[in-house]
Amino acid sequence: MLSVPTMEDHNQTFYLARQPIMNREQALVAYELLFRRGAHDTACDSHERVATASVIAQTIEMGLPKVVGGALAFLNLDQRSIMADFIGLLPADKIVLEILETVRITPELVQRMSHLLDTGFVFALDDVVALTDDVTRLLPMASIVKVEFASVVKGELALLVGKLKKQGKKLIAEKVETHEQFQMCYELGFDYFQGYYFARPRTLSGTRLQPCQLTIVNLLRQLIEDANDIDIVNSIKEDVSLSLNLLRMANSPVFGVATRVESLRQALALLGRREMQRWLQILLYAGAGRVLVRTSPLLALATTRGRLLEVMAEKLWPETTEPADIAFTVGIMSCLNALLEAPMEDILQHILVSDEVNAALVLKQGRYGEMLALIKYSEQGDSANVLSLLHGLGLSVDDFRTMQQQAYEWSNAVLSVTG
C-alpha cells in the first residue's frame, strides 16, 4: 500500500505559491507549485524534503484541478522525495517533475527516474546554468530544462541555449521579471518563460481602451451612478460579444443560478448590480490581446487577487459586505496598468472608484493597500513581509493558506467560462 503524506504529517505553517509559466504566445500553460514556510524566505532550503511532501500532500487533498485548473503543475523533487512511493499517486499527464540542482546522482536515482519515465512522467532539470557533468548525465531523461539565465556566465547564454536546443530540449527561462528580459530570452529561442514580467506595466502615452473596454467602463459608471435597468441593458446590447459573454457566465456554475438565464434583463435581475459590476470588472481583461481569455496569465492573476482579497476582507470584517466588495475591486483592478499599459492614476480617471480603492491602487496606502501588498509579497515568496503583514492584520499563515485555496479554485472556475 502506498504511503501518502498528509497535512497532519507536517508543520502546517506554510502557504502555497503558484509561479506562472507562459509559452511564446504568452498563454498560461503551467504553474510551478512552491512551498513557502512562514519562517523562511526561500522555497527550498534545508527543509527540502518536508517542503516537497507538503506541496504534494496539499495537491492530493485539494485535487490538482482546484490548484492549477487546466494548466500543468511543476513540482520540485529532492533526493528523498523522488524515491518516495507517493509520487505514483500523482497524474503523470498533468505533472512535470523537477529535479533540483542539489540532487546527488546515484545509480538508484537513475533507476528510479527511468521507472517513472516508463510510467508516463516527464522530467525537468532545474536551475541549469551550464552543462556540468551532472546535468549531462541527466539530460537524456529530461524533456525540459529550466535555465536560470541571469546566473549564466556572461556571453555564454546563447551557446548554452543552442546546445540544449540541438538535443531537442524544451527550454524555460526562469525568473523573468521584466519585459526586456522576456524579449531577450524570446529572441534567444526559449520556449517558455517563468516569472511576473507580464504583470509589469509598460507605460505608454495615453490610456488605450478597446471598444469593448470602453463599453464596460461606461457600464461601470452607470452602475455606480445607479442608472435604471433599461439603460444598463441597452448599453450591454451595443456590444454583441459582451452580451454573449455575460449570458454564458450567468449560466455557468460559478454563479450558482438555478434558473436558466435567457436574457440580459433577466441576468441583471437574478444576479443583481453588485454581481454584475464584479463580472464587468473581470471582462475588462477579455479580448485585450491575442491570448485566449482562459489562458491569459493576467486574468488568472487578477481574479486570484480579487477573490483572495475578498475572502480576506470577509474574514476580517464579517459583519458587512462593503469591505469585501472594495477588496475585490482592488484586487481585480490591480493589474489594469499592465493590461492597458498606462499609469494607474490615469486609468482611474476613466473608471469611477472609491477613495479607498484609489488609495490602495495609486498611493499603495490604507488597509486595502496593505492587503494587496501582502498578496504581492506572497506571489514573490517574500515570507518575511508576508508574516509581518499577516501579524498586523491578525491572520495566521493557516488562515492565509485556506484563503489561497478558495481563490485558486474560484479563479480557475472563472477562466473556464470566460472564453
Q: Which CATH superfamily is domain 211-417 in?
A: Hypothetical protein af1432 (1.10.3210.10)
Domain regions of the chain by residue span = 7-197, 211-417
Q: Identify the DSSP state of 318.
A: T
CATH code: domain 7-197 is 3.20.20.450
Neighbours of 254 (CB within 10 A): 15
- Residue pLDDT tens, the chain, 419 long: 344 444 444 445 678 888 999 999 999 999 998 877 665 444 444 444 455 666 677 677 777 888 899 899 999 888 888 888 888 888 899 999 999 888 899 999 999 999 999 999 999 999 999 999 999 999 999 999 999 999 998 889 999 999 999 999 999 999 999 999 999 999 999 999 999 999 988 755 555 677 788 888 889 889 888 899 999 999 988 888 888 888 887 887 776 767 788 899 998 888 888 888 888 888 888 765 555 577 889 999 999 999 999 999 999 999 998 999 999 999 999 999 998 888 899 888 888 889 999 999 999 999 999 999 999 999 988 888 999 999 999 999 989 989 999 999 999 988 887 76
Residue with grid cell 498578496, as numbered in its chain: 375
Predicted TM-score of the model (pTM)? 0.87
> ∠ CA(386), CA(389), CA(392), 5° rounding?
150
Write out 225-241 in H/E/C secondary structure. Answer: CCCCHHHHHHHHHCCHH
Contact in structure between 282 and 418 (CB atoms under 8 Å): yes
